[in-house]
Amino acid sequence: MASPEIDALTQALARLPGLGPRSARRAVLHLLKRRETALAPLLAALDAVNERLVTCSTCGNVDTNDPCGVCSDPRRDGRALCVVEEVADLWALDRSRLFPGRFHVLGGKLSALEGIRPEDLAIDALVRRIEAGGIDEVVLAMNATLEGQTTAHYLAERIERFPVRITQLAHGLPVGGELDYLDEGTLAQALRARRPVA
């Protein structure tokens, strides 16, 4: 019979997305067999994240400082603000290094199914940032899902009264996408947004 410590660790790991009870048990055994090379580094990394990371009170990013590295970077263009659903989206866009402005993390998306309402997201904070001025463009970079697009529509309505340009990411064929394999929704978007050949 496994000890209560092992049960507790198995349960904590099983709650991670992508791991179920069986894979969590396998992960625990992996850690137990590799105390020095796997368990100790994971423990240290978790501890560091727990001790040092804070949520940026301006944009919602997670970083060692508040304001975060993105918000406090003077080379960034404060006039462009990119609104994303999750911190992961901020990181994804930041990895691409294509957006020179700042970010705003909503912390989720509107969802009737999951009961997530506007007041559950950082929407009032977004409105206050825009209200404070200095922003020319707001990029609504929601996911291309029904809920993401619903959220974008809602946000566009909330901020249309401000003198800012409201844009959203283009929808269409992904790089390498083959027509034959793409879903009809993507094809419809790509066709609707077709552009003249230069």
86 belongs to the binding site for a copy of itself (CB under 8 A): yes
Amino acid at 66: D
Closer by beta carbon to a copy of itself, 57 or else 64 = 64
Does residue 125 interact with a copy of itself by CB under 8 A? no
Stretch that binds a copy of itself, among 81-89, 151-159, 165-173, 182-190 (CB under 8 A): 81-89
- Which CB sits closer to a copy of itself, 46 or 193? 46
Q: How many residues bind a copy of itself (CB under 8 A)?
A: 53
Conformational region of residue 166, where left means phi above 0, alpha means psi within -120 to 50, and beta covers everything else: beta
Residue choice 66, 67, 72, 107 for contact with a copy of itself (CB under 8 A): 107
- The residue range among 32-40, 109-117, 118-126, 177-185 that interacts with a copy of itself, by the rule CB under 8 A, is 32-40
Side-chain half-sphere exposure of 35, counting CA atoms within 13 A: 0
Q: Using CA atoms, how far apart are residues 151 and 140, in angstroms rounded to an integer?
A: 9
Q: State yes or no: residue 99 binds a copy of itself (CB under 8 A).
A: no
In the block, which residue shows the tokens 């034959």?
A: 180
Rounded to 5 degrees, what are φ and ψ at 110? -60, 135
Q: Give the tokens for residue 76.
A: 């960034």
Burial of residue 183 (CB within 10 Å: 0-12, 13-18, 19+) is exposed
Q: What is the contact surface with a copy of itself in residues (CB under 8 A)?
A: 1-3, 5-6, 8-9, 11-13, 15-19, 23, 25-33, 35, 38-50, 52-53, 62-64, 69-70, 86-88, 91, 94-95, 107
